[in-house]
Structure formats: C-alpha cells, structure tokens
Chain A
Amino acid sequence: MAEPSISLKSLVERFGPHPAYTPPGGWQDESRNPAERLVKTHCCFCGQQCGIQLKVRGNQVIGFEPWEEFPFNHGMLCPKGVKRYMQGGHPDRLLDPLMRAPQGFRVSSWDEALDFTTRRLREIQEKHGKDSVAIYGGASLISEKSYLLGKFARVALGTRHIDYNGRLCMVSAAAAYKLAFGVDRSPFPWSDIPKAQVVLVAGANVAECAPITTDYLWRCRDAGGKLIIVDPRMTPICRNADIYLPVRPGTDLALYMGLLHVILRDGLEHRDFISAYTSGFEEVAESARAWDPRTVAEKTGVPPESIERTARLFAKAERAIVLHSRGVEHQSKGVENCSALINLCLATGNIGREGAGCAMITGQGNGQGGREHGQKCDQLPGQRSISDPEARAHMAKVWGIAPDEIPQAGYSAVEIMEAIHRGEIKALLSACFNPLVSLPDAKFTKEALEKLEFFGVVDFFLSETAHHADVVLAGSLQEEEEGTGCTAEGRVIHIQKAVDPPGNAKGDSWIYCELAKRLGKGKYFPYASTKEIYDELREASRGGHADYFGITYEKIDEKMGVFWPCPSLDHPGTPRLFEDGRSFHLDGKHHFVVTEWRDSGDPVSSEFPIYLTTGRVVSQYLSGTQTRRIGGLLEQYPNPRLEIHPRLAAQYEIKDGDWVAVATRRSEITLQAMVVKTIRPDTVFIPYHWPGGRSANRLTHRTLDPRSKIPEYKVSACQLRLADGPPDWALSSPEHPFEPRKAKPDARLRILR
C-alpha cells in the first residue's frame, strides 16, 4: 500500500540485499563437521533444472556435490547452480511474517498476519467485487505450489485475475506451439540435439541463459553438425558458429520469412511431408513470396548471401533443429516469430523424428511445469483452456464445485498492473514475483503499487516490490518443500525436500491452505502434504494435454524423470512428440500459421535513434531477488553495464568505463559503458537483473504481443549522452550495497537450528 513507510536505506540495511560469501559456519567448518547426507534434487535457477546433490547437515544446506548420474546434465552446473546452496541460512532470509509499521516492518505472529490478510481481501472483495483482487504467481514455484495458487484464486477467492511471471518468459512460444501443434511443449528431448545435422539457434544466448545446452551443441558439432546463430550480439557460442546472422532487433520475422522464401523459390521444401501431415501451407507460401533476400537484408541487416546459405543448409539437411528463446519471443510479434520458425521446420519436414524439430528453451526455474497447471490467466490444470466447457466441468468435478463457480479468463500479468494503476483492481497477493524489477516501465509499476489498497506478498527474501507490502508472509525456498518441476525438455522431475523452512517461515502450500481456511474454504484445501496436492494435480491433469496422471514421485525417481503426456501408471512417458505424424489438434495435422509483420511498439526515430535490447548475464537470475544476495555471483558481474560497439561509442565520444545516460520515451538511467565489438553498432544492450537507478526496465515499454501478452523487452528506442559523472546509485545510494570481497567482514550465513 502506498509508498514504503521508511527510507530505502533503512529497508536495505535490515533486509538486504547483502552479498553473502561464506557457507554457514565458515569455509573451514565443513571439514570439522561434514555433511550428514546428500539430497538428490534439482537446481532452482533456470528452466533446465539441472540435477544436483545438496549437502545437508542438521536442518541446513551447506554445500553441493555434482549429480553425475542425472541424464540431462551429468553433473554439469553453471555458477548459479554451484552457489545456489547459499540461500537457506542467508542473513536476509525472512524468518517471520512481517506487518507494515510506521518504522518499516514489524514481526508478527502467523495468526495476526493471516487474519489481517484474509480480512482485507474479504473487505475489498465485498466492497468492490470478487475481481477487485488479483493474484500474481511465479514460474519458479514447484508445480504443486503453482497448481495450489491457481486453485486458491479460483476456488478460495473466486477472482478471474491470476497470472504469473512466466508471462514475461514463455507465453509467445506457448501460444505459437498451441497454434501449430495444439500443445505447448518442446517436442523433443535434448538428447536429439547432437543428432541434428544443422542447428539454428534463434535469439537464444545459450551460453549465459541455458549454459548446459552448450554441451549438446558442441556434441552436435563434433558429430559434424553445423551451427547457425541469429542474434544482434555475438554471444559466447557464436565463436564456434558456422554461420552468424547479426539480426537487427525486432526484425527476426523478416529473416525467417526470407529463409522460407529461398527454400520455396528453390523448391527445397518437403512436399510429401507437407501434403501428408500439415495444413495451411499454401497461405504461408503465398505470404513468403514478398520476402526476397534483398528485401530481407534491408530490413534485418543480414547479408543476402548469408540468408541464401542458411536457407540451403537448413533445407538440405536430413535432420535440422531450431532452438529459440526470449530474443524472438520478447517482441510485440513474439508469437509470429515463433510461428515463422515452426513454419520453417514444417516446410522442411523437420518434426516428429529423432534429431529434428523446433524447440523453445524455457527460461525460468519451473518455466514449463509452472505454466501447465493453472496459474495462467486463461488456463486450467493440464493445459486446459478455461473457456472450454468440458475442461471447466472436469475441473469442477475434481475441485468439488459447480462449473459456473470457476471464473472465466482474467487479465495477464502486465494487464493486471495496468488495471491496478487505473483503480480497477484494488488488492494484490503476490508470490515469487518481483514486478518492480521485472515488469516493463518500472515507474508505472511503482505508481500502480502505490495505489493498492492491500498488498500481500509471499516470499523468502524481501524483494524490492515487497517494500510496498502491507503483509509479508515468510515462505519457502525450493528445497524446503517436496514437489515436482517440469524441465525445458518436458521431463517431469522430483524436487526433494532437503530441509524445513528456517525459523518461523512456512511452506508456501501451508500458507495458501491457511488463507483458504480463513476465507471459509478450508474444505477444498485439506492437504496434509504436498504429495496429496500432487495426487490431486495428477487427477486434474488427467486427459488434458499435459497429462501427469501416470507420473508418481516414485516413478520419477526410478526413471530419472518422466516426460509427459503420461496417461497411465504403466505408460513410459513421451520423450518425443508427434512420432506418429499427428499433432494434438483434432484434425491431427500440424498447422502452418500465417504471420503478419508489425513494427515495434517503440520505434526508433531521429530523437531516439538507437535500439535498446535487454537480457540476462550468466551469474544472475531474473529480478536478482535471490542471486544479488550471493556474493560469489555478484562479484562476477556486480552492476549492469551498457554494451556498446566502438563505432557507436566513438560517435558519442564514449570510452570503456565512461558513465553514459541512456534515455527512452519513459525514463533515463546512467550506467558504465562496456565498449565491445560483439554487438551491432545500431544497438545497445543492458542486463535487467537490478532495481532502482540501475533498472533496465525503467527504460522498457509496455507494448504487448496481442495474443501472448508478452512485453516487448527486446526492442526499445533510446538516445545516449555522455554523463557528467557517476549517478547517485554508484556513489552513496543504499541501492548499491555491493562491496568487493574482503573489503569488509563477510555477511556470514546463519547457522540454522
């Protein structure tokens, strides 16, 4: 509600982020007190969800050990995985519920915090209607928690408005795959990647955002495979690419239309496959006619020869794979970009076979599982549509309510924030979501948060967004509740509970059940364990596309993950989809989808002449709520820098390390320049993991893809100016607590009892 009640400085002093470097008990403690057990579980950072063993002593995670038997990553980890264990005993960890007080926050009892939360939600709903309350969820939550959150919104609160931060991640791809195949999942296991003869990586910084996938690409190259990369930046894997296509931000669609144009012009399409297994080809072929290589080159900045070469290489391969992620999806034509890539695969017969197909690299911790079971505004569990009467009837039966009681589709994540801003939504309960850092146009987000009549947060650290909360319910880390996740491959995995939540913190699922109870809906939330929630989820997903019915915790352990759909207990799971040539559509066909060109929602102009694009760095995860507290990760890349090509830098007399003011139509921030030849000279790049004066999302805009409602993070227009000197945040602001290691005593992790 309204502004934080005390200064940012005092909030940061008390709740961090403080960079912690040393494990609980110090570095030397482990040799004196070795781990008591190893827990085989998964990393919480990113959609690959690598297998990892957590070292546990007492009720504390004290380190890690690679899990070499797990078939996806064979013990490999990125630096985030190596340091993920540093969260449980972190000094910033919330150990009690907090209530807003004049002096910031005060510790409260669970009864007080929960009663207050439900009283406020009730009051607001009684006064302004059920839909005046919204729920935000997170794609890093285990599937049990995301299922429960969806049920809580629809059954306990009866609001239409629940959406999640996967809206900022996977929805463009999800929409395109549903249009083409009737189902939202990468259609093949990653073990197919080394089998391909050509891999086209489109808008995916694999090295930094999905590091383990690099191993699969290198194995493909060792087997003679060719690597083609499309990106405005030469990301680390570009050094080994056979073809690099330096696409201008926001013009990817033109490039893929151009590739299709060349394939069709030269008669390289797979006619038999097209006629036997697809529909809609003629319309798409017609739409590709205008995109000749010269036209495409002018639009994209990619040489016509490279377009010709890529098209031929791709179409002549017996087995070709496309991997794509946020680079193409974070656009106002994100769905179109994905559809165009799928069209390329369909036109060349690359789907439903080993080593062939189109796949999205899911970004968030449980990015796949977290979107399958009901925290999307338009979906019910099992990837069912909320507007489908049959799906509603099924879910009503599972939940023991009448189909009419299930609300219809609500607003998506950005639309919820906009509805808060215009006063339509009055209360927000947010879990595992830090919209002040992660939503576009951060000043707008801040204004909206200040208008809320009630704001409740469930989280384990106090995020920047939670500074605005009325109540903070101290929840659980991934390793503090048992459950499942689903990886980028569609593999359902078992998240083991390694420890109990510390102090008075509680499992998230307990929190939602208690809230439901206090809202008088306790009979619908009778779970004694997350396993009971999972068993209901299995039943709920039964018969849906994402069918988990045949997947039990025991089966996952035995098989090291089970790929959905898995409709019965004796079903082995489905690593590769469409092997029988049939899609999930009723007609069984793979659908070509016509794509339409639209300009970016924030076009470059004479006043804002430079493209701004945003993304991640390898050492940070999403809004940084977790990773900005881990010293070992923070020191690797402490503050966002502005990547700029020497030619563009010379125009503004910018040298490496200079402070540069970057302004868009929304706002301005000042960062240090990093002058590199690895980015197009008409484009600058800023990673988005930081808050306040360092927040890339102060600059981005709220234009959404009309179907997926994903914001256009990857294309903004900006202007540059050499700044007079360092900005406030770099001088004395509390937003900048980072100090190099050894400059001061360590923020040591707590020893938990």
Chain B
Amino acid sequence: MHGYEFYVDPSRCIGCQSCVKACEECDTHRGTSMVNFDFIDRGGTTASAAYVCWHCEEPTCAMACPTDAIKKGDDGIVQSSLKPRCIGCSNCVLACPFGIPKIFPEYEQMMKCDMCYDRTSVGKRPMCATVCPSQALSYVRPEEIAGRREKPTNVFQFGNQKIVTRVHMMVPAETDSVSLDVLDYMWEESYVAFAQPQ
C-alpha cells in the first residue's frame, strides 16, 4: 500500500499472539504462521515480542543463498524462497541476523513473512498489523507514527555489518540506530576503527 510503512514496537506488545493466529489465516500459507513470537523471560517479566521479517535493503538471507532462491521485489519486499530453486539448505536461517527465515520440512522450503503480499498488493494492510490490539505491529502512514512517544529507526548495527531495513523498530526518542553489541558503544572500539582506516 503506497505511503504505508511497517513499525514494530515490542514495548507495546501484550503477548496475546493475535498476530501469530491471524498470520495462520493468510490465504497464501494458511495454517502456517510466519510471525516470530517470544516471551523474552516470562519468569522475570511479562515482556514479549512479535516480529515480522525486517525486509532488509541488502538481505543477508539472499546473499547467503547458494541457489539464488530469495528475491527482493522493486517494492522492497523480500519474498519467501522460490520453490523450484530452494534446496532447503538452511544457509539463510543461519545467516539472518534477526533470526527470521524458517525451513518447513513438510514443504522442503524456506518460508518467511512476505508482508502479506497478497493483501498489500490489493490495498489491504498486512493481517498481523491489522489485528494487533496493542500497536506492537503497525502498518500506518509515517505521519501517524510521528505522534508516538518513541520514534522509528531502520538502521541496525551487527558487529561490522550495518543493516538498513524496510520495517521500522520503535526506539526511545534519543536513539538513531539499534546496536546489540557492547563494542559499538565503547570509546576504545571507535578509536581503533578511526586509527585503522579500512
């Protein structure tokens, strides 16, 4: 849908798994959910997180695919593997820094979220973001997101790999990108990087 973007905000997730159940109802892969859902540490907190595929600008899964089975469309959506090409080798599963692709042995194929291609291509919002009752998954216009307490980012740093994604993550208002590695926050590391130009 033109002008709409996808936003993920685990801080608003209530763990209801409506997205998981609704994804299962999608016409193209009925019975199988492509939403990644986790309780982070139920013993310690009610925190939970639901994720869809982040649809990277340069998809690591596609780069790691030995049979060129994973394609990104002009719309920026990274598709599930092409059935005739996929050999079920799991390279993509191991390579994706977000842990999104899954191998489905019953289909001998990698499948993942394609942002409800069948829905978005005909002007409908993705199923998960439509039903989500708590704004943890949203498919809205950027103007609408601007009113939130958090702000969106789509830049992620994994070690030396910088990933820019189609899907946005809601982060505290002062944050520009998301890095999960302590090294990226250490003075010594940035000093070393400067001292040794690549």
Q: Do A and B bind each other?
A: yes
Interfacial residues, chain A to chain B (CB-CB below 8 A):
21-23, 27-28, 30-31, 63-64, 66, 68, 73, 75-79, 81-83, 207-208, 211-212, 214-215, 218, 221-223, 234-240, 618-619, 632-633, 636, 646, 656, 674-678
**Contact between chains at A237 and B14 (CB < 8 Å):** yes
**Contact between chains at A236 and B14 (CB < 8 Å):** yes
**Contact between chains at A215 and B133 (CB < 8 Å):** yes
- From 12 to 58 in chain B, residues with beta carbon under 8 angstroms from any chain A beta carbon are 12-18, 20-22, 24-25, 27, 30-31, 42-48
A222-B149, A240-B11 in contact; A76/B17 too (CB < 8 A)?
Answer: no
Q: What are 17 pairs between A and B in contact, CB < 8 Å? A: A28-B30, A68-B130, A82-B131, A207-B134, A211-B14, A211-B133, A215-B134, A218-B134, A222-B147, A222-B148, A236-B15, A240-B11, A618-B15, A618-B17, A632-B21, A677-B45, A678-B46
User: Is B132 an interface position by the 8 A CB rule?
Assistant: yes
**Contact between chains at B15 and A27 (CB < 8 Å):** no
A27 to B31, CA, bound (A): 6
User: Is B135 an interface position by the 8 A CB rule?
Assistant: yes
- Determine which residue in B13, B46, B149 has the highest number of CB atoms from chain A within 10 A of its CB, and name it: B46
**Contact between chains at A636 and B30 (CB < 8 Å):** no
B65 to chain A, nearest CB (A): 27
**Contact between chains at B134 and A81 (CB < 8 Å):** no
B57 to chain A, nearest CB (A): 29
A240-B11, A618-B15, A677-B45 in contact; A214/B134 too (CB < 8 A)?
Answer: yes
Q: Chain B residues near A237 (CB, 8 Å)?
A: 14
Partner of A207, one of B15, B20, B147: B15
| Beyond A68-B125, A212-B133, A234-B45, 18 extra complex contacts between A and B, CB < 8 Å | A27-B30, A63-B25, A76-B130, A78-B131, A79-B16, A82-B18, A82-B21, A83-B21, A207-B14, A208-B16, A211-B134, A218-B135, A236-B14, A236-B46, A239-B45, A633-B21, A675-B43, A678-B46
**Contact between chains at B43 and A78 (CB < 8 Å):** no
Partner of B42, one of A63, A214, A646, A676: A676
Partner of B31, one of A22, A79, A218, A240: A22
Q: Chain B residues near A236 (CB, 8 Å)?
A: 13-15, 46, 48
Partner of B47, one of A23, A64, A211, A239: A239
Partner of A79, one of B17, B125, B130, B134: B17
- Determine which residue in A79, A208, A636, A677 has the highest number of CB atoms from chain B within 10 A of its CB, and name it: A79
In the A-B complex, list the 7 residue pairs whose CB atoms are closest, starting with the nearest. A207-B14, A27-B31, A27-B30, A211-B133, A236-B14, A214-B134, A82-B21
Q: Chain B residues near A238 (CB, 8 Å)?
A: 46
- Determine which residue in B25, B30, B134 has the highest number of CB atoms from chain A within 10 A of its CB, and name it: B134
**Contact between chains at A82 and B11 (CB < 8 Å):** no
Chain B binding surface, main DSSP class: loop
A317 to chain B, nearest CB (A): 18
A207 to B18, CA, bound (A): 12
Q: Chain B residues near A75 (CB, 8 Å)?
A: 125, 130-131
**Contact between chains at A211 and B18 (CB < 8 Å):** yes
**Contact between chains at A618 and B16 (CB < 8 Å):** yes
Q: Chain B residues near A223 (CB, 8 Å)?
A: 147
B76 to chain A, nearest CB (A): 24
**Contact between chains at A208 and B14 (CB < 8 Å):** yes
B156 to chain A, nearest CB (A): 23
**Smallest CB-CB separation from B132: which chain A residue?**
A76
- From 125 to 166 in chain B, residues with beta carbon under 8 angstroms from any chain A beta carbon are 125, 127, 130-135, 147-149
**Contact between chains at A77 and B14 (CB < 8 Å):** no
A238 to B45, CA, bound (A): 10
Q: Chain A residues near B125 (CB, 8 Å)?
A: 68, 75
A100 to B15, CA, bound (A): 43
**Smallest CB-CB separation from A674: which chain B residue?**
B42
**Contact between chains at B43 and A656 (CB < 8 Å):** yes
A391 to B135, CA, bound (A): 46
Q: Chain A residues near B131 (CB, 8 Å)?
A: 66, 75-78, 81-82
**Contact between chains at A218 and B130 (CB < 8 Å):** no
A64 to B55, CA, bound (A): 27
**Smallest CB-CB separation from B147: which chain A residue?**
A222
A66-B130, A77-B22, A82-B131 in contact; A646/B43 too (CB < 8 A)?
Answer: yes
Q: Chain B residues near A81 (CB, 8 Å)?
A: 18, 131
A23 to B11, CA, bound (A): 33
**Smallest CB-CB separation from A73: which chain B residue?**
B133
Q: Chain A residues near B27 (CB, 8 Å)?
A: 30-31
**Contact between chains at A78 and B46 (CB < 8 Å):** no
Q: Chain B residues near A82 (CB, 8 Å)?
A: 18, 21-22, 25, 131
**Smallest CB-CB separation from B135: which chain A residue?**
A218
Q: Chain B residues near A676 (CB, 8 Å)?
A: 42-44
Q: Chain A residues near B31 (CB, 8 Å)?
A: 21-22, 27
A11 to B145, CA, bound (A): 53
**Smallest CB-CB separation from B127: which chain A residue?**
A66
**Contact between chains at B133 and A76 (CB < 8 Å):** yes
**Smallest CB-CB separation from A746: which chain B residue?**
B31
A253 to B17, CA, bound (A): 34
Q: Chain A residues near B127 (CB, 8 Å)?
A: 66
Partner of B14, one of A64, A214, A636, A646: A214
Q: Chain B residues near A28 (CB, 8 Å)?
A: 30
Q: Chain A residues near B48 (CB, 8 Å)?
A: 236
A83 to B30, CA, bound (A): 13
**Smallest CB-CB separation from B32: which chain A residue?**
A27
A593 to B20, CA, bound (A): 46
**Contact between chains at B14 and A632 (CB < 8 Å):** no
A75-B130, A76-B132 in contact; A218/B12 too (CB < 8 A)?
Answer: yes
**Contact between chains at A207 and B130 (CB < 8 Å):** no
Partner of B18, one of A68, A77, A234, A656: A77
**Contact between chains at B135 and A215 (CB < 8 Å):** yes
Q: Chain A residues near B22 (CB, 8 Å)?
A: 77, 82
A80 to chain B, nearest CB (A): 9
Q: Chain B residues near A674 (CB, 8 Å)?
A: 42
B136 to chain A, nearest CB (A): 9
**Smallest CB-CB separation from A741: which chain B residue?**
B31
A456 to chain B, nearest CB (A): 35
**Contact between chains at A221 and B130 (CB < 8 Å):** no
A228 to B177, CA, bound (A): 31
B181 to chain A, nearest CB (A): 25
Q: Chain A residues near B43 (CB, 8 Å)?
A: 646, 656, 675-677
A234 to B152, CA, bound (A): 27
B70 to chain A, nearest CB (A): 24
Q: What 0/1 pattern do residues 105 to 142 of B give for CB contact below 8 A with A?
A: 00000000000000000000101001111110000000
Q: Chain B residues near A675 (CB, 8 Å)?
A: 43
**Contact between chains at B46 and A79 (CB < 8 Å):** no
**Smallest CB-CB separation from B106: which chain A residue?**
A742
**Smallest CB-CB separation from A238: which chain B residue?**
B46
A242 to chain B, nearest CB (A): 12
A78 to B13, CA, bound (A): 12
**Contact between chains at B133 and A78 (CB < 8 Å):** yes
**Smallest CB-CB separation from B29: which chain A residue?**
A27
- Determine which residue in B22, B48, B125 has the highest number of CB atoms from chain A within 10 A of its CB, and name it: B22
A284 to B24, CA, bound (A): 54
Partner of A234, one of B13, B14, B20, B46: B46
Q: Chain B residues near A31 (CB, 8 Å)?
A: 27, 30
A214-B134, A222-B149 in contact; A677/B44 too (CB < 8 A)?
Answer: yes
**Smallest CB-CB separation from B15: which chain A residue?**
A236
B40 to chain A, nearest CB (A): 11
A223 to B130, CA, bound (A): 22
**Smallest CB-CB separation from A26: which chain B residue?**
B31
**Smallest CB-CB separation from B47: which chain A residue?**
A239
**Smallest CB-CB separation from B150: which chain A residue?**
A222
**Contact between chains at A240 and B21 (CB < 8 Å):** no
B130 to chain A, nearest CB (A): 5
Q: Chain B residues near A239 (CB, 8 Å)?
A: 11, 45-47
**Contact between chains at A632 and B24 (CB < 8 Å):** yes
A725 to B37, CA, bound (A): 31
Q: Chain B residues near A64 (CB, 8 Å)?
A: 25
- Determine which residue in B14, B47, B127 has the highest number of CB atoms from chain A within 10 A of its CB, and name it: B14
